[in-house]
Structure 1
Amino acid sequence: MAYKISYKLIGWFSFIFILTAAVLNTIGLKRIENKIISEQVSLLYEEAQTISSEYLSNYYDQTSSLVNIRTQLSTVDAFLNVRIWAVDRNGTILTDTRNSDPSHYINLYEKVPELLNQNYIKNTTLKGILPDPSLVVCYMISSDQNTQGYIILIEPLENITFSARKNINVINVCLVILAVILLITFIYLFYVIVYPIRALEKGVHEYANGNFQYKINLKRNDEFKDLANSISYVGSELANLEDYQKKFIANVSHDFRSPLTSIMGYAQAIKDGTIPYEMQNKYLDIILFESERLTKLTSNLLSLNNIKHNGAILHITSFDMNNVIKTTAATFEGACMKKKILIQLLFEEPHAIVCADMDKIQQVIYNLLDNAIKFSPNNATIQIGTEEKNDKLFVSVKDHGVGIPAGSLHKIWERFYKTDSSRGKDKKGTGLGLSIVKEIINAHGENITVASTIDVGTEFIFTLPMSEKE
């Protein structure tokens, strides 16, 4: 794309420059010539009037000789650089400032009668009388409505063309200067616009080819730099996503392979009769256990994927958080009896009315309590409490189990993550529970924190908005 832009800029620049120069040196030159001719006709006509009133009037009054008139007209010729004819009423040339031989003085009525009936002819040789095409201006001298003669001023068109060419040359010089300025501007625009576009394009191609480590470096501070940083950020996020996908596939494959291997192995053994009839119930329980684990893993994956990509669809209502905690805790009665675990409910107030999605918050409590029971030893105590502070309800779930290593605290929210200490104890876990908890709390615009000490216990605390009291 950048190459196309640069070629287009060069092409348009060249086209406009050549077109301007061509038009200027053809149509422009002709228009300037016509303008100069028009101005020169007016100027020469005024000069003819001046000559008539100041010089030829003396001749017609017989106060000046033709010789004196010729001398005076020659002086005007030298000043104006135009050929001057004095013509009598019959059309015969009386004097010519460029030819003093009377034998060459012709009768214009006989040779070019149309001349004396016009004010000017702009391109003529007067039927070969003049050596070069010229501008001829004719001024009639009259007195008491009687024609006394004519003043004819002749200027070669070569002089006018030369003047027009001088003007065009000045414009051409300006055009060249403008071209240089435009060239410098083009180079500047190339550096400011096209070069960074090339750099951005290269970066995008690198990312498209999977090179997410490529960095777009632009030594500037403008919108292109911001765009480069944004694209680089996208590259780093794609790199993280690719890494996450690899880990995700590896974890899913591992977590599905283990129970499937157990299910297939024991099912095949029962079918083949390898396992005695009296022991089949034991292995059927294992198959059932692994099937439940797969069902839970699939359900959690679908739930987390739906929240991550479509956003959690929240059905906000007002409800008593203390009742939700009581109801959820009651579902773990069997698990607690097996490990002789006591769940303590520490409520600051009998009722804690919050605004949230009750079903999803119940899932949060379920996941946190499920974790607490798994990682608590026999005869342990788990404490669940609520406390109101500044229009927020703080909910805590605290166990006295194995704890989480400090280096793992920031990783527990990742999908499939399990600490080394939990791998032997959490046979049924999927590593998705805390990820779901985090997504649900974030969807509510609230926060969840964790504090843990090895062999002492772990406490999760999250907030919910209190319902407005009526």
Structure 2
Amino acid sequence: MYNQAVSISKDYASTYFSDEKIRLIRSEMITVASASGERIMFIDTDGNILMDTSRDITDQNSVRLNDFDYTRSGSRYSQSGRFFDYFGEDMLSVMAPITNAYTVKGYVAIHIPLGTLRSQVYTTFNTNYVTFIIMMMLILLFVAFYFIMIHRPLKAIIKGVDEYSKGNLDYRIDLAPGDELHRLGASLNYMSSEINEMDKFQQKFISNISHDFRSPLTSIKGYLEAMSDGTIPPELHQKYIGIVLFETERLTKLTNNLLTLNDLDPKSVRLNYSDFDINDVIRHTIETFEGVCTEKKITFKLTFSSRQLMVHADMEKIQQVVYNLVDNAVKFSHPDSFIAISTTTKNGRAFISVKDNGIGIPKDDLKKIWERFYKTDNSRGRDKKGSGLGLAIVREIIQTHGERIDVISTEGVGTEFVFSLKTPKSTSSS
């Protein structure tokens, strides 16, 4: 209030005391007083009220403050009360001197009722109090939100990570869906599930490979011991040496397959790409099965879309793919049946199909046939000499080429494998 009084004394009062624009200044003072809820006066050094924003100017000339003594006011004056008995209620009054040439010519006085001031204080206090309550409620809501949406999920995630570090990969992090922390928890659950599956796969892998190595080694040891101690007479040695050699070939093939799978690591494998005729590879491959096919009375039905179909791939590895698929078809085809092999092109790619007329694969086993050492049930697994690695090798080779292989099978009807390869034309265009 005092600063306002000083500002008025500088901007208006000097003009007022020079008797210029009296009514205009009073009108402006009334506007200022109305906006702030205050009452503004101009008072001379004798205590005469020259202007009062709440009284008409014609009445102001005869108004004089009782016992007004400006010498007691000094350079700054404020009081609470009735202001020299001028008001009928208690007021808070502030005066600022009007000076000219270092001489006090009068005062600007600003008044506000103490009741109004208290009401404003209470209103401000109540507003601040309500604001404080609202802020506290917002803070409590934020704390509750933090606890429910951040702290508790983080605690659950930390517990899950701790369980995983202890080897408990079956533990699952249970979080409400819909936020980033839930997605993080789901990712950790998926990671633990994959690690758990990998651990089980490794255990199964070791178990299977141990069994597949142990069986032929047991046979070899048994036959050699029988020949050594005379259980098998010398005239039968040649027969059992042939069996030992056969079991040795099984071990060699199993070892080679394992090495092949190891070499097919996508991060380290190097493919020797070249352009070659896939039809010619198929013709040469089926010639190697002439003996077993004659024995089982199995024939091949070749359907090529053209006499020559050039593809762009690693020829040696694709030969192994064709060999494994044909070998698989021969094993599980019924006697006196045929195996259909076809090649076609579509959208710059070659598609090779190998279809047998055999016992088929159970629907529940279709997704598992690509697993290493996986063999279907005994009804299909009449071929006890398979290692369960052939189809795993096939898929690894095809995926390493950036292609795909699909299988369609119906129990009692047969199985068809179809894989794709790039053609030289598609390679050059890309």
TM-score band by shorter chain is: 0.5 to 0.7
| 2:8 is aligned with 1:50 | no
What is the alpha-carbon root mean square deviation over aligned residues?
4.9
Q: Which moved more, 1:430-439 or 1:168-177?
A: 168-177
Q: Which moved more, 1:384-393 or 1:345-354?
A: 384-393
How big is the shift at 1:251? 1.7
| Secondary structure of 2:44 counterpart | helix
Among 193, 210, 214, the alignment partner of 2:172 is: 214
Amino acid at match of 1:468: K
Instruction: Indicate if the aligned counterparts of 2:360 and 2:409 stay in contact, CA closer than 8 A.
Output: no
Instruction: Indicate if the aligned counterparts of 1:438 and 1:448 stay in contact, CA closer than 8 A.
Output: no
How big is the shift at 1:377? 6.2
Counterpart residue number, 2:83: none
Counterpart residue number, 1:451: 409
Instruction: Indicate if the aligned counterparts of 2:169 and 2:195 stay in contact, CA closer than 8 A.
Output: no
Counterpart residue number, 1:260: 217
Instruction: Indicate if the aligned counterparts of 1:86 and 1:151 stay in contact, CA closer than 8 A.
Output: no
In the superposition, relative to structure 1, how do residues 54 and 366 fare at CA in structure 2: closer, same or farther (>3 Å)? farther
Amino acid at match of 2:211: H
| Secondary structure of 1:463 counterpart | strand
How big is the shift at 1:372? 2.8
The residue correspondences of 1:60-139 to structure 2 (distance < 5 A) are 72-73=64-65, 86=69, 119-120=75-76, 139=97
How big is the shift at 1:306? 4.7
In the superposition, relative to structure 1, how do residues 178 and 406 fare at CA in structure 2: closer, same or farther (>3 Å)? closer
Counterpart residue number, 2:394: 437
* Whole-angstrom distance in 2 between the partners of 1:192 and 1:327: 66
| 2:257 is aligned with 1:300 | yes
Instruction: Indicate if the aligned counterparts of 1:44 and 1:137 stay in contact, CA closer than 8 A.
Output: no
* Whole-angstrom distance in 2 between the partners of 1:318 and 1:467: 7
Instruction: Indicate if the aligned counterparts of 1:138 and 1:152 stay in contact, CA closer than 8 A.
Output: yes
Amino acid at match of 1:448: D
| 2:353 is aligned with 1:361 | no
Amino acid at match of 2:313: A
Instruction: Indicate if the aligned counterparts of 1:213 and 1:239 stay in contact, CA closer than 8 A.
Output: no
In the superposition, relative to structure 1, how do residues 54 and 174 fare at CA in structure 2: closer, same or farther (>3 Å)? farther
How big is the shift at 1:136? 10
C-alpha deviations, 1:13-50, integer Å up to 9, x for none? xxxxxxxxxxxxxxxxxxxxxxx775576689989993
- Tell me the percent identity: 41
* Whole-angstrom distance in 2 between the partners of 1:465 and 1:198: 51
Counterpart residue number, 2:23: none
In the superposition, relative to structure 1, how do residues 185 and 400 fare at CA in structure 2: closer, same or farther (>3 Å)? closer
How big is the shift at 1:283? 3.7
* Whole-angstrom distance in 1 between the partners of 2:314 and 2:253: 22
Counterpart residue number, 2:140: 183
| 2:288 is aligned with 1:288 | no
In the superposition, relative to structure 1, how do residues 137 and 321 fare at CA in structure 2: closer, same or farther (>3 Å)? same
Normalising by the residue count of structure 1, what TM-score does the alignment of the two structures yield? Answer: 0.61
How big is the shift at 1:254? 1.5
In the superposition, relative to structure 1, how do residues 51 and 378 fare at CA in structure 2: closer, same or farther (>3 Å)? closer
In the superposition, relative to structure 1, how do residues 406 and 180 fare at CA in structure 2: closer, same or farther (>3 Å)? closer
How big is the shift at 1:72? 4.0
In the superposition, relative to structure 1, how do residues 248 and 408 fare at CA in structure 2: closer, same or farther (>3 Å)? same
Counterpart residue number, 1:6: none
| 2:137 is aligned with 1:195 | no
| Secondary structure of 1:411 counterpart | coil
Counterpart residue number, 1:61: none
Instruction: Indicate if the aligned counterparts of 2:286 and 2:326 stay in contact, CA closer than 8 A.
Output: yes
Higher share of residues assigned helix: 1
Instruction: Indicate if the aligned counterparts of 1:441 and 1:447 stay in contact, CA closer than 8 A.
Output: yes
Instruction: Indicate if the aligned counterparts of 1:207 and 1:235 stay in contact, CA closer than 8 A.
Output: yes
How big is the shift at 1:192? 3.0
C-alpha deviations, 1:102-161, integer Å up to 9, x for none? xxxxxxxxxxxxx96xx4599xxxxxxxxxxxx99884877xx696899899x9xxxxxx
* Whole-angstrom distance in 1 between the partners of 2:335 and 2:271: 37
Amino acid at match of 1:322: N
Instruction: Indicate if the aligned counterparts of 1:86 and 1:150 stay in contact, CA closer than 8 A.
Output: no
Instruction: Indicate if the aligned counterparts of 2:153 and 2:181 stay in contact, CA closer than 8 A.
Output: yes
Counterpart residue number, 1:324: 281
How big is the shift at 1:388? 3.8
| 2:367 is aligned with 1:385 | no
* Whole-angstrom distance in 1 between the partners of 2:191 and 2:354: 37
* Whole-angstrom distance in 1 between the partners of 2:243 and 2:206: 25
In the superposition, relative to structure 1, how do residues 400 and 55 fare at CA in structure 2: closer, same or farther (>3 Å)? closer
